Amino acid sequence: MMKGPEFAADPPDMQRLSALYTGWRAAAAGDSEQEALDAVRDWDAERRRVQTWMSLCTLRFRQDTTNADNKAALEHCDELSPAFRELEVDLQRALIASPSRAAIERAFGGQAFALWSANVAGFDPAIQDDLRAESKLVNEYVELLAGARIPFDGQELNLSEMQARRTVASRSARHAADKAYWGWFGDNAKALDDGFDALVGVRTRMARSVGEPDYVSLGYLNRSRIGYDRADVERFRGEVLKEVVPLAVELRKRQAAALDLPPDGLMAWDEAVHDPAGNPAPAGDHDWMMDRASAMFEALHPDLSAFFEMMRSRELLDLKARKGKAGGGFCTAFEEHGVPFVFANFNGTKGDVEVFTHECGHAFQGWSSRNVPLVDYFFPTYEGAEVHSMSLEFLTYPEMERFFSPAEEADRFRRLHLIESLLFLPYGCAVDDFQHRVYSASAASAASAAERRQMWLDVEATWLPWRQWGDLAHPAAGGRWQAQRHIYVYPFYYIDYVLAQTCALQFWAWSERDRAAALDAYVALCSRGGQQPFQELVRSAGLRSPFEQGCLAETVARARAALL
């Protein structure tokens, strides 16, 4: 059994691939159902190899952004990806038009055709250079942030280490950390503005090349939003505004009172701390946490336990922060080998537990779905995938005494996590609203950096009306969004979290009533992978779709009752 650090893959031979795809296209267009089905099977095996290579290129670069070989490999991957996409799109188009389509749907499911249709609609050979330019700009942003060295407390800290300083109990120390943190963004404002301006330009140009009115439409295609559209999302955001923002305002007032501040005295540097004693933190380091996690999963469910022991023994976890390692946390997969991989940056805060359970949710789902008939279903579309990750954050609540002690600390953690889950909903909508404004046809080609800052300030006033930046110059001028890596790296990936949280909160409520039933439903959902579109997956697990009238109100009402 290969272990995490040993996984490697050579770049594909594009000539060989091109010949294979020509054969599969012919099989798709021919009249033999058997040959068409065999072609799809062979294609799937080859795609798993190519996708594994792509995952490894991204992962190794993020594990050490200062390594020149890793960077060169990723650049080579970004160079080849658009040509590979063209091969994929041509074959997918042939499969959609195939005389054997009904047989393929019977064997592999109809969801693949919906995914392929979105992929075909979002691509044209003319955008290949723009795709390469986009990757380059994204990598520059990741590298810029990974290279941050902020002088603080006589040390040089990276953004992840700074993050921990921003949530300490001492208010003046938090303020100083926030000043240094946002000072770095202010110092790099020109690079951040120019990079984003170039991204908006290239993304808008691609939208026009594929015949879409703006990058909002192309963004929806790229995110494979199936079964709902821009109007549904807008309506859903409207419900968050009505149902959640007033509750969030109330929670912020209570937070101010808990911190001995006047009702309107909560400043931006106070928002992450809900108690004068500071936030609960895990009672041990990385190795200790891994042992606790093993015990936690064993207590929760045999499938979760088997999964986690596999992840540990095969070293498929890279959780420690290092100099040069990119920030954030994510789960990727080596589809050829049927295993997921988890990347994070532990910094000793409660966030470590949250990121860990979140990414393990993704990884457990990927592992549970490793034998799905098509690699398209290894992970569901993003809103669906975030249900698995965010729900595990809640389903592990009863085990939190393993990480936090004494027991009251675990209580504090659960309460805080629930509060922050609710407060997240307006923030997620703010990020989504901002991107809709940025990429709408009228703004995309014309807006200046200053106008984009104003857009963010408008969005903040709507969704986060309590926010006060005080003397933090860069965010006070509308620069907060530049620290939200999804806006640069994964455009339109954010409402997914809000939709998924609405489902995860339902798992929380279910687990409060019947823990075993909720866990069983969760495990069964994970094994279905992405074989259905989002709303069908959600319903198959016994949950309500966030787009259903009243779903959000009902879900939030339960959480409100538990908190207020």
Instruction: Closer to Zn ion by CB, 100 or 391: give it.
Output: 391
Q: Which window, 119-127, 200-208, 382-390, 393-401, contacts Zn ion (CB under 5 A)?
A: 382-390
| One-letter identity of residue 144 | L
Q: Which window, 222-230, 232-240, 389-397, 523-531, contacts Zn ion (CB under 5 A)?
A: 389-397
Q: How far is the CB of 301 from Zn ion (least distance, A)?
A: 20
Q: How far is the CB of 340 from Zn ion (least distance, A)?
A: 12
Q: What is the DSSP letter of 493?
A: -
Q: What is the DSSP letter of 342?
A: E
Q: What spatial distance separates the first Cα and last Cα of the chain, rounded to whole Å?
A: 50
Instruction: Closer to Zn ion by CB, 224 or 389: give it.
Output: 389
Q: What is the DSSP letter of 375?
A: G
Q: How far is the CB of 62 from Zn ion (least distance, A)?
A: 15
Q: Which window, 123-131, 292-300, 369-377, 383-391, contacts Zn ion (CB under 5 A)?
A: 383-391
Instruction: Closer to Zn ion by CB, 368 or 389: give it.
Output: 389
Instruction: Supply 320's token pair.
Output: 């420690």
Phi and psi for 315 in degrees, rounded to 5?
A: 55, 50
* 398 preceded by a cis bond (ω within 30 of 0): no
Instruction: Closer to Zn ion by CB, 109 or 530: give it.
Output: 530
Residue count at the site for Zn ion (CB under 5 A)?
Answer: 2
Instruction: Closer to Zn ion by CB, 178 or 386: give it.
Output: 386
Q: How far is the CB of 383 from Zn ion (least distance, A)?
A: 11
Q: Which window, 220-228, 386-394, 410-418, 456-464, contacts Zn ion (CB under 5 A)?
A: 386-394
Phi and psi for 155 in degrees, rounded to 5?
A: -125, 175
Instruction: Closer to Zn ion by CB, 347 or 389: give it.
Output: 389
Instruction: Closer to Zn ion by CB, 255 or 391: give it.
Output: 391
Q: How far is the CB of 362 from Zn ion (least distance, A)?
A: 6
Which residue has its beta carbon closest to Zn ion? Answer: 389
Q: Which window, 201-209, 379-387, 424-432, 434-442, contacts Zn ion (CB under 5 A)?
A: 379-387
CB proximity list for 103: less than 8 A, separation 6 or greater: 33, 36, 37
Burial of 395 (0-12, 13-18, 19+ CB in 10 A): buried
Q: How far is the CB of 174 from Zn ion (least distance, A)?
A: 27
CA-CA distances (angstroms) from residue 518 to 356, 397, 411?
Answer: 20, 13, 21
CA-CA distances (angstroms) from residue 128 to 79, 82, 194, 209?
Answer: 9, 5, 22, 10
Contact 215, 207 (CB under 8 A): yes
C-alpha 393/C-alpha 360 separation (Å) is: 9
Instruction: Closer to Zn ion by CB, 98 or 389: give it.
Output: 389
C-alpha 292/C-alpha 407 separation (Å) is: 15
Q: How far is the CB of 357 from Zn ion (least distance, A)?
A: 11
Q: How far is the CB of 455 from Zn ion (least distance, A)?
A: 26
C-alpha 86/C-alpha 84 separation (Å) is: 5
Q: Which window, 146-154, 269-277, 344-352, 387-395, contacts Zn ion (CB under 5 A)?
A: 387-395
- Answer yes or no whether residue 501 interacts with Zn ion by CB under 5 A: no
Pairing outcome for strands 317-320 and 339-346:
parallel
Q: How far is the CB of 146 from Zn ion (least distance, A)?
A: 20
Q: What is the DSSP letter of 406?
A: S
Beta strands in 236-389 (DSSP E): 317-320, 330-334, 339-346
Instruction: Supply 156's token pair.
Output: 């040089």
Q: Which window, 14-22, 58-66, 246-254, 380-388, contacts Zn ion (CB under 5 A)?
A: 380-388
> Contacting Zn ion (CB under 5 A), which of 65, 160, 365, 389?
389
Write the interaction track for Zn ion spanning residues 337-376; mark x where CB under 5 A is met and - where it is not.
----------------------------------------
Which residues share a beta bridge with 225? none
Instruction: Closer to Zn ion by CB, 200 or 422: give it.
Output: 422
In terms of Cα–Cα distance, which of 497, 297, 277, 241 is closest to 387? 497
Instruction: Closer to Zn ion by CB, 109 or 366: give it.
Output: 366
Q: How far is the CB of 359 from Zn ion (least distance, A)?
A: 7
Which residues contact Zn ion (rule: CB under 5 A)?
386, 389
